[in-house]
């Protein structure tokens, strides 16, 4: 049994405008939910300018906060805070390939097997897939794929934009966690392993100390189905740990973008994303 | 001298004649009435019909040009008994599609039961996950349905496709009737025809019934993409006849999940939106961000239960022609009933065996894109060139989910006035159904579309088709008390030059 981490998370993001914006409609996916590897004690979202918000759970099970701002405003800020207890999953023994490729499972997870425009990869990677498919153990196969992507794609912040596709990142062999995740998902799906995008946070300290506030990350990783959904973090070359806090799932980034919106007004600049995590116990 | 009816050699079911010269009983009186006109006179009436349409603005945009939608002067007649059967079949289909949409945007029981692969739905581009969790207050997602029917060679009506997104064409039903009663008032005094003018009040009542429960005095609007839309005339007509505002996206605004209409007297809350804007363009927050005809925030306002979008967001998945192949299953599973209307025999091309059969004999099949409307992309195997079939085979093999294959059905024909003679032309039927949550009402008749080119099987207006006024007779047993000439006397004048005995004199029968 792994360690249980108590974490207090503050995620701050937003936009500043070259002037005044109005008629701004937004959806924030910044609220962790209680799942099999985490329990959410409290969570709240604060929007500035201050306005009422509504929430619902979307198709993929992610909590969505909806709000609109009609008045002129020079800046939009969204701050999500939550108190979460997190622990690592135990690795279940995986299904065999034939079971994984059964009609029942391929149909049940069809939307995590089909490529999206974000995850589509063509050409070059097909040979690699051939090799890994000889690996009998699905976990080992996924680890090999994940390791391969981690070795091929250099983690270079700013090398890609938020709208990049797996193919673009692959061609450049550079990207951030979002890109590395998309490429890995693309490979796993091509092999017939259901794979989904996870948006969340990573508590970076390997030796976490109670009380210290550390700078965390808005992070992305992969879950694949091997009998149950199993997390792996190809960017860091590790499995999902108690330091990974899940916010939402989707087919790719577009299903779980932390903040998406539309507004009338001048160009905007994203405020730096700040994630602060304090270990509470 | 009467009108000459050209012989029907198509092998299709002729709606008017059971055999050359043998009119079906419900057409006897119409035939007699038409025989009283000289061909020149018919031409004049035909022109009168076209003028009425131009004057009233009943046009559609074709290749950038506004044209009147040609109204053929020979009406199509459906008997009361047949209509009763059809309308029950249509209503049944709408109820089943409602249940299906509620299921897939909810629990997904049909997948758990193994009656339909989940991937059929998840791979449909019209399965809008943003609609998940929107619960219509009275359960209605399909306020208006257009269920396209054709009659096969044996006279059986089959469903060609379901249209539960934003089916259009009902304005032509209303305008066709208006124009026909002006140009041929005599025909109507000879027939007891079900009126069609109650459609707008039925639609209004259904929209009212769809309103959120908390709306005290619900405000309904028609949302149109604007004057450049091909069906703008219809949007104007329905709004006017229902007595509600016609609005465009820029007239509406969402605030805190409520929708308001901007008026000269300030803002007014809106509760039901009869929208004629596609999902893709209706809410830039959820769908295409570049839309200029949508309303930001609309989908979340519907989710919050403050406004009803009608027809529902995400209905398009039910129009998918692969989903169509499962509708008989829906009827059995959700309603526990036996389908009253048949589908056309259809092959699902993701099935290896079916695909091999179809790809091996493409010249024997009609292949349709699952996503097409308006006859777009349909390849009729027996009429296609080798090159076309080759290209099609490649497309189908690379994306079998995107196509279905059907046996070619010779759509029934109906005598149609073309160039001063009356010739058989292929037709279909789009009845319109309105669901108010309590019952599904089907407008008597619907839009009969006619392919004006000889032998042409695609009837859509975008392909140069026209339409016919469609009559449902009030009473099956209209006694024809005129002196019916023996069938033999009429039968000879099907083709070739008219002969001496072409003239019939009918006595005016009693109604």
Domain boundary among the residues B368, B384, B406 is at: B406
Cα–Cα distance, B131 to B405 (Å, whole number) = 30
Domain boundary among the residues B406, B429, B456 is at: B406
Cα–Cα distance, A157 to B422 (Å, whole number) = 74
Q: Are B119 and A107 in contact (CB < 8 Å)?
A: yes
The CATH number of the domain holding residue B386 is: 3.30.1490.270
pLDDT band at B486 (very low <50, low <70, confident <90, very high): very low
Cβ-proximal residues to B309 (8 Å cutoff; 6+ apart), any chain: B273, B275, B282, B298, B299, B302
Domain presence at residue B306: no
Q: Are A59 and B253 in contact (CB < 8 Å)?
A: no
CA atoms within 13 A on the CB side of B277: 29
pLDDT band at A198 (very low <50, low <70, confident <90, very high): very high
Domain boundary among the residues B359, B388, B406 is at: B406
Residues of chain B positioned with their CB less than 8 A from the CB of A108: 111, 118
pLDDT for B505: 27
pLDDT for B193: 95
Q: Does B257 touch chain A (CB under 8 A)?
A: yes
Q: Does B129 touch chain A (CB under 8 A)?
A: yes
Q: Are B300 and A260 in contact (CB < 8 Å)?
A: no
Count up the domains in chain B and report the number. Answer: 2
CA dihedral of residues B343, B346, B348, B351 (deg, nearest 10):
120
**pTM to 2 decimals?**
0.92
Domain presence at residue B271: no
Domain presence at residue B88: yes
How far from A124 is each of A121, A155, B272, B274, CA to CA, in Å? 8, 20, 52, 50
pLDDT for B501: 31
Cα–Cα distance, B404 to B321 (Å, whole number) = 7
Which of A115-129, B139-153, B485-499 reaches the highest mean pLDDT? B139-153
Enclosing domain of residue B121: 1-196+317-344+412-492
CA dihedral of residues B204, B207, B209, B213 (deg, nearest 10):
-130
Give yes or no: residues B488 and B356 share one domain.
no
Residues B480, B484, B490, CA angle at the centre, nearest 5°? 130
Neighbours of A206 (CB within 10 A): 7
CA dihedral of residues B306, B308, B313, B315 (deg, nearest 10):
150
Q: Are A107 and B289 in contact (CB < 8 Å)?
A: no
Cα–Cα distance, B407 to B345 (Å, whole number) = 7
CA-wise closest residue to B163 among B323, B346, B303: B323
Range of weakest confidence among A69-78, A131-140, B10-19, B465-474: A131-140
Cα–Cα distance, A159 to B41 (Å, whole number) = 76
A-chain residue closest to B298, CA distance: A25
Q: Is B487 helix (H, G, I), strand (E, B) or coil?
A: helix
- Phi-psi map region of B343: left, alpha, beta (phi>0 left; psi -120 to 50 alpha): beta
**Bridging pattern class, strands A5-31 and A274-279:** antiparallel
Cβ-proximal residues to B254 (8 Å cutoff; 6+ apart), any chain: A25, A68, B260, B295, B296, B297, B298, B300, B301
Give yes or no: residues B436 and B368 share one domain.
no
Both tokens of A134, joined, read 């000889």
Helix axes B199-209, B170-183, angle to 10 degrees: 160
pLDDT band at B369 (very low <50, low <70, confident <90, very high): very high
Both tokens of B422, joined, read 């009356």
Both tokens of B467, joined, read 């339409």
Domain presence at residue B381: yes
Both tokens of B468, joined, read 């016919």
Nearest residue, CB atoms, A59 vs list B118, B132, B254: B132
pLDDT band at B457 (very low <50, low <70, confident <90, very high): confident
Domains observed in chain A: 5-87+257-279 (2.60.40.2250), 97-255 (3.10.620.30)
Q: Does B133 touch chain A (CB under 8 A)?
A: yes
Cα–Cα distance, B466 to B73 (Å, whole number) = 11
Give yes or no: residues B472 and B361 share one domain.
no
Q: Is A154 helix (H, G, I), strand (E, B) or coil?
A: strand
Q: Are B118 and A27 in contact (CB < 8 Å)?
A: no
Q: What is the mean pLDDT of residues B130-155?
A: 96
Give yes or no: residues B67 and B124 share one domain.
yes
Q: Are B118 and A114 in contact (CB < 8 Å)?
A: no
Range of weakest confidence among A67-81, A179-193, B64-78, B137-151: B64-78
pLDDT for B373: 66
pLDDT for B11: 85
How far from B293 is each of B164, B228, B247, CA to CA, in Å? 21, 11, 10
Tell me how far apart the terminal alpha carbons of chain A are, to the nearest angstrom: 17
Q: B122, B260, B352: best mutation site toward chain A, by most A Cβ within 10 Å? A: B122
pLDDT beyond 60 at A76? yes
Are the C-beta atoms of B148 and B164 separated by less than 8 Å?
Answer: no
Domain presence at residue B185: yes
Give yes or no: residues B352 and B479 share one domain.
no
Give yes or no: residues B388 and B469 share one domain.
no
Q: How far is B307 from chain A (nearest CA, A)?
A: 15
Cα–Cα distance, A58 to B252 (Å, whole number) = 25
Neighbours of A162 (CB within 10 A): 10
Residues of chain A positioned with their CB less than 8 A from the CB of B300: 27, 54, 66
Q: Are B254 and A66 in contact (CB < 8 Å)?
A: no
pLDDT for B498: 31
Give yes or no: residues B449 and B353 share one domain.
no
Tens-place pLDDT, residues B426-437? 999 999 999 999
pLDDT for B462: 64
pLDDT for B63: 63
Domain presence at residue B83: yes
pLDDT beyond 80 at B388? yes
Q: What is the mean pLDDT of residues A54-81?
A: 97
Cα–Cα distance, B315 to B141 (Å, whole number) = 7
Both tokens of A246, joined, read 């899940």
Residues of chain B positioned with their CB less than 8 A from the CB of A59: 129-130, 132-133
Residues of chain A positioned with their CB less than 8 A from the CB of B118: 107-108, 110
Tens-place pLDDT, residues B269-323? 999 999 999 999 999 999 999 999 999 999 999 999 999 999 999 999 999 999 9
Residues B66, B319, B436, CA angle at the centre, nearest 5°? 90
Q: What is the mean pLDDT of residues B230-254?
A: 96
B-chain residue closest to A254, CA distance: B286
pLDDT for A235: 96
pLDDT beyond 60 at B5? yes
pLDDT beyond 90 at B488? no
Give yes or no: residues B25 and B160 share one domain.
yes
pLDDT for B481: 41
pLDDT band at A129 (very low <50, low <70, confident <90, very high): confident
Q: What percent of chain A has pLDDT over 70?
A: 98
Nearest residue, CB atoms, B133 vs list A56, A106, A260: A56
Q: What is the mean pLDDT of residues B481-496?
A: 37
H/E run at residue A232: strand A229-233
Both tokens of B38, joined, read 């000289």
Nearest residue, CB atoms, B285 vs list A27, A107, A108: A27
Give yes or no: residues B95 and B164 share one domain.
yes
Q: What is the DSSP string of A14-51?
A: EEEEEEEEEEEEEEEEEE---BTTEEEEEEEEEEES--
Q: Does B305 touch chain A (CB under 8 A)?
A: no
Domain presence at residue B267: no
Range of weakest confidence among A199-203, B251-255, B485-489: B485-489
Cα–Cα distance, B238 to B225 (Å, whole number) = 14
Q: Are A54 and B257 in contact (CB < 8 Å)?
A: yes
pLDDT beyond 50 at A275? yes
In the DSSP assignment, the letter for residue B73 is: E
Give yes or no: residues B182 and B113 share one domain.
yes
Cβ-proximal residues to B294 (8 Å cutoff; 6+ apart), any chain: B249, B277, B281, B282, B283, B284, B287, B288
Give yes or no: residues B86 and B150 share one domain.
yes
Give Cα A15 distance to the centre of its chain: 21
Domain presence at residue B120: yes
pLDDT beyond 80 at B469? yes
Residues of A with a Cβ under 8 Å from any B Cβ are: 23, 25-27, 51-52, 54, 56-60, 66, 68, 70, 106-108, 110-111, 114, 255, 260-262
Residues of chain A positioned with their CB less than 8 A from the CB of B289: 262
Give yes or no: residues B431 and B354 share one domain.
no
Nearest residue, CB atoms, A25 vs list B117, B297, B303: B297
A-chain residue closest to B122, CA distance: A111
């Amino acid at each position: 049994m792994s360690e249980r981490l108590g974490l207090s998370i503050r995620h701050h993001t937003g936009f500043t405008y070259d002037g005044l914006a109005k008629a701004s409609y937004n959806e924030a996916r910044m609220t962790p939910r209680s799942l099999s590897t985490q329990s959410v004690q409290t969570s709240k979202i604060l929007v500035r300018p201050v306005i009422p918000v509504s929430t619902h759970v979307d198709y993929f099970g992610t909590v969505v906060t909806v709000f609109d701002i009609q008045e002129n405003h020079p800046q939009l800020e969204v701050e999500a805070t939550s108190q979460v207890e997190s622990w690592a999953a135990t690795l279940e023994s995986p299904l065999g390939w034939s079971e994984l490729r059964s009609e029942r499972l391929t149909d049940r997870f069809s939307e995590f097997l089909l490529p999206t425009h974000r995850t589509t990869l063509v050409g070059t990677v097909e040979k690699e897939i051939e090799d890994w498919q000889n690996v009998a153990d699905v976990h080992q196969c996924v680890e090999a794929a994940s390791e391969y992507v981690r070795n091929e794609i250099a983690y270079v912040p700013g090398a890609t934009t938020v709208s990049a596709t797996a193919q673009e990142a692959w061609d450049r062999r550079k990207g951030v966690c979002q890109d590395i995740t998309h490429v890995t998902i693309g490979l796993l799906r091509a092999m017939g392993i259901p794979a989904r995008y996870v948006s969340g946070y990573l508590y970076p300290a390997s030796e976490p100390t109670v009380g210290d506030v550390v700078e965390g990350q808005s992070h992305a990783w992969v879950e694949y189905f091997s009998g149950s959904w199993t997390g792996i973090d190809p960017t860091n070359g590790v499995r999902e740990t108690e330091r990974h806090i899940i916010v939402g799932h989707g087919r790719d980034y577009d299903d779980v973008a932390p903040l998406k919106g539309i507004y009338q007004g001048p160009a905007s600049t994203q405020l730096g994303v700040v994630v602060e995590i304090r270990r509470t116990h | 001298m009467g009108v000459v009816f050209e012989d029907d050699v198509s092998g299709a079911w002729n709606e008017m004649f059971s055999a050359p010269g043998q009119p079906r009983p419900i057409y006897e009186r119409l035939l007699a009435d038409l025989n009283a006109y000289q061909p020149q006179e018919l031409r004049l009436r035909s022109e009168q019909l076209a003028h009425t349409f131009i004057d009233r603005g009943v046009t559609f945009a074709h290749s950038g040009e506004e044209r009147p939608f040609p109204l053929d002067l020979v009406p199509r007649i459906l008997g009361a008994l047949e209509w009763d059967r059809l309308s029950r079949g249509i209503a049944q289909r709408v109820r089943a599609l409602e249940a299906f949409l509620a299921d897939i945007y909810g629990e997904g029981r049909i997948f758990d039961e193994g009656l339909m692969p989940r991937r059929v739905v998840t791979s449909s581009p019209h399965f809008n996950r943003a609609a998940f969790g929107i619960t219509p207050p009275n359960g209605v997602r399909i306020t208006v349905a257009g269920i396209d029917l054709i009659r096969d060679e044996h006279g059986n009506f089959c469903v060609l496709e379901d249209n539960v997104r934003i089916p259009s064409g009902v304005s032509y039903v209303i305008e066709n009737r208006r124009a026909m009663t002006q140009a041929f008032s005599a025909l109507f005094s000879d027939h007891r025809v079900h009126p069609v003018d109650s459609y707008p009040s039925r639609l209004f009542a259904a929209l009212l019934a769809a309103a959120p429960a908390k709306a005290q005095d619900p405000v309904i609007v028609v949302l149109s993409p604007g004057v450049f839309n091909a069906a703008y005339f219809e949007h104007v007509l329905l709004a006017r006849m229902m007595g509600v505002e016609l609005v465009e996206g820029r007239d509406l605004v969402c605030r805190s999940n409520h929708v308001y209409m901007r008026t000269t007297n300030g803002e007014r809350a809106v509760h039901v939106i009869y929208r004629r804007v596609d999902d893709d363009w209706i809410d830039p927050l959820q769908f295409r961000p570049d839309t200029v005809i949508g309303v930001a925030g609309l989908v979340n306002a519907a989710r919050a239960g403050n406004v009803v979008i009608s027809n529902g967001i995400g209905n398009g998945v039910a129009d998918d022609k692969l989903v169509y192949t499962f509708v008989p299953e829906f009827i059995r599973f959700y309603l526990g009933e036996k389908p009253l209307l048949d589908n056309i025999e259809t092959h699902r091309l993701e099935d290896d065996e079916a695909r091999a059969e179809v790809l091996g004999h493409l010249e024997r099949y009609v292949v349709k894109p699952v996503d097409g409307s308006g006859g777009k992309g349909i390849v009729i195997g027996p009429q296609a060139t080798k090159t076309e079939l080759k290209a099609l085979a490649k497309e189908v093999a690379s994306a079998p989910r995107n196509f279905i294959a059907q046996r070619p059905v010779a759509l029934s024909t109906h005598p149609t006035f073309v160039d001063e003679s009356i010739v058989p032309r292929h037709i279909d039927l789009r009845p319109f159904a309105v669901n108010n949550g309590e019952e599904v009402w089907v407008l008597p008749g619907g839009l009969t579309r006619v392919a004006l080119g000889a032998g042409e099987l695609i009837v859509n207006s975008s392909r140069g088709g026209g339409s016919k006024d469609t009559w449902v007779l009030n009473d099956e047993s209209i006694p024809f008390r005129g002196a019916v000439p023996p069938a033999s006397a009429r039968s000879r004048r099907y083709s070739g030059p008219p002969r001496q005995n072409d003239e019939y004199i009918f006595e005016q029968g009693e109604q």
